[in-house]
Amino acid sequence: MADTSVRMGFQIRSTVKKEGIVEISVARVATPEPKPDEVVVRVDAAPINPSDQGLLFAGADVTTAKASGTPDSPVVTASISPAVMKSMAGRLEQSLPVGNEGAGVVVEAGASPAAQALMGKTVAILGGAMYAQYRCIKAAQCLVLPPGTTPAQGADCFVNPLTALGIVETMRREGHTALVHTAAASNLGQMLNKICLKDRVALVNIVRKPEHVDLLKKIGAAHVCDSSSPGFMDQLTEALVASGATIAFDAIGGGRLAGQILTAMEIAANRTAKEYSRYGSTTHKQVYIYGGLDRGPTEFNRAFGMAWGIGGWLLTAFMQKIGPEAAQKLRDRVAAEIATTFASSYTKEVSLAGALRIDEIAVYAKQATGQKYLITPNKGR
Amino acid sequence: MADTSVRMGFQIRSTVKKEGIVEISVARVATPEPKPDEVVVRVDAAPINPSDQGLLFAGADVTTAKASGTPDSPVVTASISPAVMKSMAGRLEQSLPVGNEGAGVVVEAGASPAAQALMGKTVAILGGAMYAQYRCIKAAQCLVLPPGTTPAQGADCFVNPLTALGIVETMRREGHTALVHTAAASNLGQMLNKICLKDRVALVNIVRKPEHVDLLKKIGAAHVCDSSSPGFMDQLTEALVASGATIAFDAIGGGRLAGQILTAMEIAANRTAKEYSRYGSTTHKQVYIYGGLDRGPTEFNRAFGMAWGIGGWLLTAFMQKIGPEAAQKLRDRVAAEIATTFASSYTKEVSLAGALRIDEIAVYAKQATGQKYLITPNKGR
């Protein structure tokens, strides 16, 4: 058949083996024929986000990564610690596709008018299994990009932009007027600065390196605190007093930072207290942990009264909670501002096989600021 | 004047000195003359709750306690660590009265009908400054005890009973159907068991000693897990599966217990999951920390997905949140069941001066289960 080349394609897959390793490979798989309400998208660009690496590496120690297989069909294996293996019971010995989001061109469409209308269009998708040459998906899940938008521009249309918008929306819905963000020089952090400047929301940025202070100040950030500086707690307290921020979104998770933020919020709240209360200020102080850049334990001293909370924050749970109408509003804003507020930049483009090269893994697995990779599954091997 | 003996009285006071010590003394003070809407209560019984000891000892190391003063006017001093001193800025060099709650007889009343109606009645009060022979307070703040109730029976009418009812009410309002409680063999924990048995709410009790398992089973507890046992995590998981508890109230605060509870809740939730989700179960799992029996840092591994929260829980904040009508319903239930569900037992009665004896402090400051003291300010010195 003439369309055989369209229907077969390469795809990255990840399997946790019971002997305590993850095996990542590039497999050749058949793309399903689209049902009436489905389309097949040729994936031209898919970012490697921190949230993808959880599924890809399964918490393995990537410094143990070893290459095998052939250049055409590479295989990478890496060791998973016994502690991490405990949480992998649910995916043991299952070959899972990877890649939360991406963008490409619709090359085949089912019989329905909605599907047919997408033929030839450049679309963005949040659907999983995007580290592949082709993805069969419901037409309704495709976000049509504005004319002139390239797949590379639209590849990161969901995870970072919607997380950034979801953070600001959560702040508003929970009655806060300003916010704190950690790992603030990240792609997501820069987007958040652009949103907050545009929406006039005070934002306290916490970074981990002195050079990131300048990076954020250059794009207009008013408050940037470097957690590696000896005066960090004082800087943070002053920024909290100035901004009035009582909610924080933390991408780091491990260590003492969440507790430090709550402690500084409490000191800031008590600046205006008139009477001693041994239960602390009555201002509710909240930290949401939405990432795990530090996978170690979270530790805090509870030196911040009784009106506080720490919790997990997950984009998909947030989108479900606000309902389809509110969620669509956020998606529409992303599409409208994809080339400005939500523009991403990438360090490097790699093929599917390239993403499995040990030297590339060593770079992007660090999840360092300014080291973001884009997979281009259809640009050669 | 004939009423001089009524109007002067002894009172316990606590002062944090800038040199890093707490000074606790028994002072002789004048009781204010009651305004029209006020009464003077002769305090006959006031419990020493963990929540009183925070104000009394100001986080000092009680093993450093030293006695001075005279037998009639004893003074106790103890050292406060520099770390704790930081959080004491708000009460530095202020002589503060102590004692959240107690009960006694109205011996003087202001001119208003409401105040006059209380003359001679036995009442319970939550008002602070209860470690005193006399307490002048608004008539509206007095809860009249059912006829035949002794002040000792009514002394602990608020903190423990309302906390226990508030815990069950919080569980209901936040959409959970069963709950976990730590330090579960405490006076409060026993009350909670009686409430849950009566209200048919499944309760998972966590205790720290094998002998406390029997204590709770004897009063009818269905689920009791001993955190000192090697099989604790498995026991806890089974109890969570059986009860369906997804919210916990933790009196301990420090250490790893809060995280262990969330981890076991996640394992229990995943027992019924059909598909692997690397973000964990979508069941929201909540721990409220309402005490600090372990004052060390809280530490957890976040091995429980993304749908979780840890936060502070404070009785007064909860009562404000539910509003006066709902709060009064809880108070009425306490008064009606004071001799049954909410009966307290005490190890020992001490005078105001007796509460400052070094050997007594050494016992009650441990806040051990079954070591609860009652101060009887008018039973001699």
Picking from B54, B299, B308, the nearest residue to A297 by CB comes out as B299
Question: In the beta sheet, which residues pair with residue B11?
Answer: B27, B132
Picking from B87, B305, B310, the nearest residue to A310 by CB comes out as B310
Long-range Cβ pairs for the range A164-168 (8 Å, 24+): A164/A188, A164/A191, A164/A192, A164/A195, A164/A342, A165/A195, A165/A330, A165/A333, A165/A334, A166/A315, A166/A318, A166/A319, A166/A330, A167/A192, A167/A249, A167/A290, A167/A313, A168/A192, A168/A195, A168/A196, A168/A199, A168/A201
Nearest C-alpha of chain A: how many angstroms from B119?
Answer: 32
Q: Which residues in chain B touch residue A277, judged by CB atoms under 8 angstroms apart?
A: 90
Tell if the CB–CB gap between B254 and A313 is shorter than 8 Å: no
Element (H, E) at B119: none
Number of CB pairs, chain A paired with chain B, less than 8 A apart: 94
Nearest C-alpha of chain B: how many angstroms from A210?
Answer: 28
Tell me how far apart the alpha carbons of residues B46 and B348 are, in angstroms, rounded to a whole number. Answer: 12
Tell me how far apart the alpha carbons of residues A233 and B325 are, in angstroms, rounded to a whole number. Answer: 42
Tell me how far apart the alpha carbons of residues A51 and A49 are, in angstroms, rounded to a whole number. Answer: 5
Look at residue B366 and give its three-state secondary structure: coil
pLDDT at A64: 96
Q: What is the pLDDT along chain B (381 residues), one digit of tens a residue?
A: 444 445 799 999 999 999 999 999 999 999 999 999 999 999 999 999 988 999 999 999 999 999 999 887 899 999 999 988 887 888 999 999 999 999 999 999 999 999 999 999 999 999 899 999 999 999 999 989 988 999 999 999 899 999 999 999 999 999 999 999 999 999 899 999 999 999 999 999 999 999 999 999 999 999 999 999 999 999 999 999 999 999 999 999 999 999 999 999 999 998 877 666 778 899 999 999 999 989 899 999 998 999 999 999 999 999 999 999 999 899 889 988 998 999 888 989 999 999 999 999 999 998 877 778 999 999 865
Neighbours of A173 (CB within 10 A): 12
Picking from B90, B301, B314, the nearest residue to A306 by CB comes out as B314
From the candidates A306, A314, A316, A318, which should be mutated to test the interface with B, based on the most B CB atoms within 10 A? Answer: A306
Element (H, E) at A64: none
Tell me how far apart the alpha carbons of residues B277 and A87 are, in angstroms, rounded to a whole number. Answer: 11
3-state helix, strand, coil in chain A (%, to 5): 35, 30, 35
* Degrees, nearest 5: CA angle A243-A247-A253: 125
Tell me how far apart the alpha carbons of residues B285 and B245 are, in angstroms, rounded to a whole number. Answer: 9
Picking from B307, B313, B314, the nearest residue to A312 by CB comes out as B307
The residue to which tokens 């994936």 are assigned:
A43
Q: DSSP states of B249-263 as a string?
A: EES-EEESHHHHHHH
The residue to which tokens 């010995």 are assigned:
A93
Tell if the CB–CB gap between A90 and B270 is shorter than 8 Å: yes
Element (H, E) at A53: helix A50-57
Neighbours of A116 (CB within 10 A): 14
Residues B256, B267 contacting (CB under 8 angstroms): no
Which pair of structure tokens corresponds to residue A143? 């976000």
Q: Which residues in chain B touch residue A303, judged by CB atoms under 8 angstroms apart?
A: 86-87
Picking from A54, A289, A309, the nearest residue to B311 by CB comes out as A309
Tell if the CB–CB gap between A313 and B297 is shorter than 8 Å: no
Picking from A87, A297, A317, the nearest residue to B300 by CB comes out as A297
Tell me how far apart the alpha carbons of residues B297 and B313 are, in angstroms, rounded to a whole number. Answer: 17
Residues of B with CB under 8 A from a CB of A: 54-55, 86-87, 90-91, 94, 96, 253-254, 259, 270, 273, 275-279, 282, 289-290, 292, 297-303, 305-314, 316-317
CA closest to A89 among chain B residues: B276
Select from A234, A158, A221, A211 the least CA-distant residue to A189: A221
Tell me how far apart the alpha carbons of residues B3 and B10 are, in angstroms, rounded to a whole number. Answer: 15
Tell if the CB–CB gap between A94 and B276 is shorter than 8 Å: yes
Tell me how far apart the alpha carbons of residues A108 and A114 are, in angstroms, rounded to a whole number. Answer: 13
Residue A93 falls in which region: left (phi positive, over 0), alpha (psi -120 to 50) or beta: left
Look at residue A378 and give its three-state secondary structure: coil
CA closest to B304 among chain A residues: A87
CA closest to A277 among chain B residues: B90
Element (H, E) at A118: none
Look at residue B217 and give its three-state secondary structure: helix
Q: Which residues in chain A touch residue B309, judged by CB atoms under 8 angstroms apart?
A: 309-312
Q: Which residues in chain B touch residue A275, judged by CB atoms under 8 angstroms apart?
A: 90
Tell if the CB–CB gap between B306 and A298 is shorter than 8 Å: no
* Degrees, nearest 5: CA angle B45-B293-B348: 30
The number of residues making up chain A comes to: 381
Tell me how far apart the alpha carbons of residues B318 and B51 are, in angstroms, rounded to a whole number. Answer: 16
Please count the CA atoms within 13 angstroms of the CA of B16 that sit on its side-chain side: 23
DSSP-assigned letter for residue A132: B
From the candidates A310, A315, A320, A321, which should be mutated to test the interface with B, based on the most B CB atoms within 10 A? Answer: A310
Tell if the CB–CB gap between B307 and A303 is shorter than 8 Å: no
Q: Which residues in chain B touch residue A317, judged by CB atoms under 8 angstroms apart?
A: 282, 306-307
Ranges of residues in chain A whose predicted pLDDT is under 50 = 1-5
Give the list of residues 6+ apart from residue A91 with CB closer than 8 angstroms, or none. Answer: A16, A58, B276, B278
Tell me how far apart the alpha carbons of residues A105 and A145 are, in angstroms, rounded to a whole number. Answer: 10
Which pair of structure tokens corresponds to residue B261? 């509870």
Q: Which residues in chain A touch residue B90, judged by CB atoms under 8 angstroms apart?
A: 270, 273, 275-277
CA closest to B288 among chain A residues: A309
Residues B143, B125 contacting (CB under 8 angstroms): yes
φ/ψ of B161, rounded to 5, equals -60, -45
Element (H, E) at A380: none
Tell me how far apart the alpha carbons of residues B180 and B268 are, in angstroms, rounded to a whole number. Answer: 13
CA closest to A286 among chain B residues: B311
Residues B354, B363 contacting (CB under 8 angstroms): no
Q: What is the pTM of this model?
A: 0.86
HEC string of B34-48 equals CCCCEEEEEEEEEEC
Neighbours of B336 (CB within 10 A): 12
CA closest to B266 among chain A residues: A87
Residues A154, A124 contacting (CB under 8 angstroms): yes
Tell me how far apart the alpha carbons of residues A16 and A78 are, in angstroms, rounded to a whole number. Answer: 10
The dihedral formed by the CA atoms of A120, A122, A127 and A129, expressed in degrees to the nearest 10: 80
Nearest C-alpha of chain A: how many angstroms from B290?
Answer: 8
Tell if the CB–CB gap between B298 and A297 is shorter than 8 Å: no
From the candidates B87, B270, B271, which should be mutated to test the interface with A, based on the most A CB atoms within 10 A? Answer: B87
Picking from B55, B278, B297, the nearest residue to A299 by CB comes out as B297
CA closest to B58 among chain A residues: A278
pLDDT at B47: 96
DSSP-assigned letter for residue B378: T
Tell me how far apart the alpha carbons of residues A317 and B277 are, in angstroms, rounded to a whole number. Answer: 13
Tell me how far apart the alpha carbons of residues A358 and A77 are, in angstroms, rounded to a whole number. Answer: 10
